[in-house]
Amino acid sequence: MCGRFTLASPGEAVGELFGLAEAPVLAPRFNIAPSQPVAAVRAAGEGRELVALRWGLIPSWAKDQAIGDRLINARSETAAEKPSFRTALRQRRCLLVADGFYEWRKDGPRKQPHLIRFRDRRPFAMAGLWERWVGPDGPVESCTILTTAANEVVAPIHERMPVILVPETHAAWLAPATRDPVMLAPLLRPLAAEELEAFPVSLRVNSPANDDPQCIAPLAS
């Protein structure tokens, strides 16, 4: 499960990675939590657009948006079969922009948060799905993060991790013409571990109210 992540990279780096027409203006965020808006890239006309989506997917058929709090992640192995995700997998895929994510390892009576990121701290894409739900106050666009089995870096901390898509696969994931989950399945694998690092961070991460550089600072050994 991925319950928190970070995005503090410059807009120029994000725009270049995702092939955007112009660099977005993004405030640095060090502890992004469910129900908050997140940066997502999706296909738009002949190009791509960056939009803000509520984290926690609300199916179009939901009676209210509270269900989104339980749908922040989707298992990539079963998403094609689940009513909450199967239509979005075929028709509404997106790239969720991040430069790190947190996982918690059980350490005695408590859980110790760890930050996982690329060693060079570059931004990356997590495979996402999005939906549009219309409620009494108007439409809400929301998203979920697809997860897969943990690689060698993440496995000592948690058994699952986000699907991280390398740049060469971004176009294939966003391609509107691709509707067959079987064609998408090869993309939904654990990222090779060589370029990642993981280290424990402060328990401050446990509270969404804490969103500052201290959240990503390695704990003193």
Q: What is the pLDDT of residue 201?
A: 98
pLDDT at 46: 85
In angstroms, rounded to a whole number, what is the distance separating the alpha carbons of residues 175 and 87? 15
Domains and CATH numbers, the chain: 4-216 (3.90.1680.10)
Enter the pTM of the model: 0.97
103: closest CA among 215, 214, 5? 5
pLDDT beneath 50, residues of the chain: none
pLDDT for residue 221: 66
What is the distance between the alpha carbons of residues 206 and 9, in angstroms, rounded to a whole number?
22
Active-site residue set: 2, 103
Judged by DSSP in three states, 17 sits in: helix
Q: In what order do the strands lie in the sheet with 29-32?
A: 29-32, 4-7, 100-107, 110-118, 196-200
Determine the pLDDT at residue 1: 74
Distance of CA 134 to the CA centre of its chain: 23
